[in-house]
Amino acid sequence: MTADAPRGADAPPELVQLLTPEGERVEHPDYDIDLTAEEVRSLYRDLVLVRRIDLEAVALQRQGELGIWASLLGQEAAQIGSGRALTDADMAFPTYREHGVAWCRDVDPVKLLGLFRGVSNGGWDPAEHNFHLYTIVIGSQALHAVGYAMGIQRDGAEAATIVYFGDGATSQGDVNESFIWASVFNAPVVFFCQNNQWAISEPLEKQTKIPLYKRASGFGFPGIRVDGNDVFACLAVTRRALQNAREGQGPTMIEAFTYRMGAHTTSDDPTRYRLADELEAWKLKDPIERVKAYLFKNRLADQEFFEKIDAEADALGKDVRSRCLALPDPPPRAIFDHVYAGAHSLLDEEREQYLTYLAGFER
């Protein structure tokens, strides 16, 4: 990167890309994908609807209806592409930003909002959706994913796990320990790193001296970098990595080279540490606009289709908002209900102390 070039503005030469920012289809010698017109339209719909959910959640937080929100703005292609590569038997382990993957796993968006509103501890059944609960502790979900993958391996099941984390998490011990276990035991897991260039306010060069995907080779398994704003490439690369894992070829690390268009969370102000021209450069690589351009150029969709999707997105936004505002507040004692599977003497004691404290306000 030069002083005149915004961070990540020029695509790295080793990047797997199947759809350019201008909406032109390109071939890759190792990765390709054959999508029908209906499949491309479906991916476009996913991208638009997920962004609408995200924008509605940001608005709800700004209006005091959510405690915080981690936006996925700009990372939709990485999440939808990888999420649609999963089979029903595969298990996904998210961070706190994988709203697009949750959409692909049929998790009700309001369940996500309930967590950030503080009315639930998760809200969905991981076994029902094969989508684990959100993980706030940076990197710990990598250990969970590898352990689950080793269980799949021992059960002899035809499935794999995928674990999501950001560029900042690659500096965490949990993630690196997961790499070791996955490699040594040849676990059927895909490590999906969404490199959005910033770990809150820390730029990528504070995390690594080499491209993140190259770290995999040091642990003994392959790594690949994909255009994280290209939903076609993300789908093709993740589909191949998952299939390799299911066939016993072990782990793969995917670095989705993308950009966090918004704040780290709604408590963050990115204007304090990054330049406006960097953001403007990445806007030209918008994951939704390139698919829209592809559909237009190839006459796979008309204006009526796009208007229909926009109307559906508006209706979804209104529905998500109204159902979020209608979520009931749990009673204060409910926080103790699901800490352990059964009774626990110390927890019982703490519950009684807390209820006595609350009762003091009723006099």
Longest pairwise C-alpha distance within the chain: 75
190 within 8 A of 224, measured Cβ to Cβ: no
Strand 189-195, strand 161-166: pairing: parallel
Q: Which residue carries 């560029």 as its tokens?
A: 167
Q: Catalytic residue positions?
A: 260, 264, 273
Tokens of 40: 């491309």
- Selection from 45, 40, 2, 3 nearest residue 23 by Cα: 40
Q: Please give the DSSP secondary-structure letter assigned to residue 327.
A: P
User: What phi and psi values does residue 164 have, to the nearest 5 degrees?
Assistant: -105, 140
Alpha carbon 128 to its chain centroid, in Å, reads 19
Enumerate residues 6+ apart whose C-beta is below 8 A from 320.
53, 56, 57, 109, 110, 113
159 within 8 A of 91, measured Cβ to Cβ: yes
First to last CA, the chain: 65
